[in-house]
Amino acid sequence: MRIKKLLLLLATGFAVLCFLAVPATASAADHMRTPINYRKSSETVPYPDINKLKDPWIKVSIARNRVYIMDGHKCVYTMYASAGKYETKNGKRVSTTPTGTFAIQDARGDSFYNPAVKCGANNYVSWHDNGSYLFHSVPTDKDGHYIKAEAAKLGKSTASHGCIRLSVPDSKWMMNVPAGTKVVVQKD
């Protein structure tokens, strides 16, 4: 009986040692660029090839200030983002970015400027209301210069009028996403 207990303890200890010796696989958090830099990609690893993913779709978390490039149930890339500012409507705190299931649309381009809000952006791709809601770079001024105070909010807080802001390289990558790709925007 004592030998069986001793063997069990040895086997259990060996299993624990083996478990501890196996390195964990790297998570997306291990690849996130810190500090956040609006002129660089969000991760330090290459972007996924959207055309080689089996079930590509995009998940947006407003509260986490993140965009997740998904392949089925697996996140293959994470981007820092800033979605719509929070407002109080009917006594509830809501973002100016609509939530729900949408799709990437054909409307896209290199740059725009909206004089009504006194800012523009580069690398835009529509995902709702044919150009009303976009993925795009951090904002630019009327001369096309990035607004550094707004860029500093990337990945840290909501900041837009409803669009989803990304770093400059991330917004360029987003322009390759085919029309029809599912986009799910969630509060959290």
Single out the catalytic residue among 75, 136, 145, 161: 136
Residue 180 tokens, joined? 């029809």
136 an active-site residue?
A: yes
Read out DSSP for 13-27? HHHHHHHHHSPPPPP
Cis status, amide bond into 35, omega within 30 of 0:
yes
Single out the catalytic residue among 128, 145, 161, 163: 163
β-pairing, 119-128 vs 133-137, is antiparallel
Q: Rounded to an integer, what distance in angstroms lies between the CA atom of residue 76 and that of residue 65?
A: 17
Which residue(s) pair with 137 in the sheet? 166
Q: Which residues are catalytic?
A: 136, 163
